[in-house]
């Protein structure tokens, strides 16, 4: 079945550092790929998405590119802020679009 693998956290960075959170996937067909963010005490929020190969999703300074050849969707940000501290989840939907499969999540801690 479909699966998503993320780098384990926590990832601890200083403010303004460069961020990469790795995500790889296994899926049949052509899934859509997502990054969701969960701030402390809050629900999951969609951060960005990409629906086909080579698409780049971007939002709030975060970017991720759908790489079919490496089955990856790594999350990057050039300069993190303390307010980016959260848990980040990589996810994909199946071809029917009726089920999200999540990775285990990566906790990011940004120190001032």
Partner 1 sequence: GAGVSQSPRYKVAKRGQDVALRCDPISGHVSLFWYQQALGQGPEFLTYFQNEAQLDKSGLPSDRFFAERPEGSVSTLKIQRTQKEDSAVYLCASSLGHLSGNTIYFGEGSWLTVV
Q: Give the shortest CB-30-to-partner 1 separation in angstroms.
A: 8
Task: Indicate whether 57 belongs to the interface with partner 1 (CB under 8 A).
Answer: no
Q: Which of 36, 62, 66, 73 binds partner 1 (CB under 8 A)?
A: 36
**10 part of the interface to partner 1, by CB under 8 A:** no
100 near partner 1, judged by CB under 8 A: yes
How many C-beta neighbours within 10 Å does residue 6 have? 23
Computed from CA positions of residues 28, 57, 42, 82, in that sequence, does the dihedral angle turn out positive or negative? positive
Stretch that binds partner 1, among 17-25, 60-68, 70-78, 96-104 (CB under 8 A): 96-104
Torsion on CA atoms 105, 51, 101, 74, rounded to nearest 10: -30
Binding interface with partner 1 (CB under 8 A): 4, 30-32, 36, 42-46, 49, 51, 89, 91, 93-105
């Amino acid at each position: 079945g479909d699966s998503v693998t993320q780098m384990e956290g926590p990832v601890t960075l200083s403010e303004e550092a460069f961020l990469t959170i790795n995500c790889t996937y296994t899926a049949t067909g052509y899934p859509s790929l997502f990054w969701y963010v969960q701030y402390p005490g809050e629900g999951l929020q969609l951060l960005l998405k990409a629906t086909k190969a080579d698409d780049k999703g971007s939002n709030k300074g975060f970017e991720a590119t759908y790489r079919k050849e490496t089955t990856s969707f790594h999350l990057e940000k050039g300069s993190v802020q303390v307010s980016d501290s959260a848990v980040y989840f990589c996810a994909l939907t199946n071809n029917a679009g009726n089920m999200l499969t999540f990775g285990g999540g990566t906790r990011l801690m940004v120190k001032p």
